[in-house]
Amino acid sequence: MFKINENYLKLPGSYLFFTIGKKVKEYSQAHPEKQIIRLGIGDVTQPLAPAIIEAMHGAVDEMGNAETFRGYAPDLGYEFLRNAISRNDYKARGCGISADEIFISDGAKCDSGNIQEIFSVDNRIAVCDPVYPVYVDTNVMAGRTGVYDGKTETWSDVIYMPCLAENDFLPELPKETPDLIYLCFPNNPTGSALKREQLQEWVDYANKVGAVIIYDAAYEAYISQEDVPHSIYECAGAKHCAIELHSFSKNAGFTGVRLGYTVIPKELECDGVTLHSLWARRHGTKYNGAPYIVQRAGEAVYSEAGKEQLKQQVAYYMKNARYILDGLREAGYTVSGGVNAPYIWLKAPKGMTSWEFFDYLLENANVVGTPGSGFGPSGETYFRLTAFGSYENTVEAVERIKAL
Ligand SMILES: *Cc1c(COP(=O)(O)O)cnc(C)c1O
């Protein structure tokens, strides 16, 4: 008789977006005349930039011609894309990451979930609280997290790093020593960002204790402040302790197109075995590459026209972020984020819990956000609004909240 992977049974239900959807549906059925504005789910809304569409059309035509048709992509991705990434995302910033340290994939969610496979199940992970749930849940599936305590909503073998107002929503070095440290900056959900010298402390710490940092840079394109690093490899020593994950979803609107990449420097090794060789082996065995058409679209992100168009796209969302930040501040809310990230993190007023504020906002302003408690216990009493809506809807939502 077969047995299942019982680790899956340990996972607590993920009711966050399901419950939000259910509540919104019930409300709109009871009040069909109300126009609901959704600033909840972290998905982009602007169409793909013209330079990207043009590149995709060109690649589609190539696929329809025997001379230029492409089948399986190279295991680790096409050279043209890996070279463009190495040049633009790294060498232009003074980081010596070469094309052969870059692995092309279909997005950062898969990579952030799969990367734990190349590490021992004995390793202890450390995560921020609140956190992007993928990091924890994939380690639960692998059997690395111990026992779940429903009361505290924590796992016995996970090291949590609370990110609260008193530490500017940034993690502090943990008291217990982790083996794997997941960091995502600029952060989803809080919108906070680490400055270069703060990230350097993490790199120094990881090198000192022999830990690996898994650095999720999905929101790198939203950085507006000079002293916030775009890559962990801007820090000295990071090539010996850090893996970096990138996505084309938030900087270029590829949430439905699917493209990302992972960087593993060749220096990163354990007892003479490079993590690069393990991930290359895994990639070659379990993955057959992102589509050619999509990799050509990714290359266009780095063209002169693509860069200019995407700068405007990011600026469009960040104008929304500014509007939400200023408007809520004026209305007396305690808000943060929104400067280096498309997320605004606010404290629920009048002692409300995250879900109480969710209901209050839905019923009184017809605005949907995300309850902070859905990202971890330290998110309780907080609330996330995203800048990914249209400008008109964002303005309307803020006016409604101000009028409450
Ligand atoms: C959106 C997001 C990603 C990107 O995921 P894709 O699979 O590339 O779309 C990765 N990490 C975080 C924290 C995110 O919010």
What pLDDT score does 214 carry?
98
What was the pLDDT predicted at 41? Answer: 79
CA distance 266 to 131: 28
Write down the pLDDT at residue 15: 79
Rounded distance from Cα 17 to ligand 1 centre (Å)? 16
- Please tell me the predicted confidence (pLDDT) of residue 143: 98
Q: How far is the CA of 88 from the centre of ligand 1 (A)?
A: 20
Say if ligand 1 is within 6 A of residue 169 CB.
no
Q: Which residues pair with 385 in a beta bridge?
A: 344
CA 17 remoteness from chain centre: 16
Residue 137 CA, ligand 1 centroid: distance in Å? 15
Q: Looking at the whole model, is its pTM more than 0.85? A: yes
- Give the C-alpha separation, 77 to 74, whole Å: 5
For residue 330, the CA-to-ligand 1 centroid distance in Å is 31
Count Cβ atoms below 10 Å from residue 287 Cβ, excluding itself.
17
Ligand 1 center from residue 134 Cα (angstroms): 9
Ligand 1 atom nearest residue 108's Cα: 8
Residue to substitute in 104, 220, 247, 375 for testing ligand 1 pocket (most ligand atoms within 8 angstroms of CB): 247
The residue behind tokens 């995407």 is: 310
Q: Is 342 in the pocket of ligand 1 (CB under 6 A)?
A: no
Residue 370, ligand 1, Cβ within 6 A: no
How does pLDDT run along the chain (404 residues), one tens digit per residue? Answer: 999 999 999 998 877 889 999 999 999 999 999 999 999 978 999 999 999 999 999 999 999 999 999 999 998 999 999 999 999 999 999 999 999 999 999 999 999 999 999 999 999 999 999 999 999 999 999 999 999 999 999 999 999 999 999 999 999 999 999 999 999 999 999 999 999 999 999 999 999 999 999 999 999 999 999 999 999 999 999 999 999 999 999 999 999 999 999 999 999 999 999 999 999 999 999 999 999 999 999 999 999 999 999 999 999 999 999 999 999 999 999 999 999 999 999 999 999 999 999 999 999 999 999 999 999 999 999 999 999 999 999 999 999 999 99
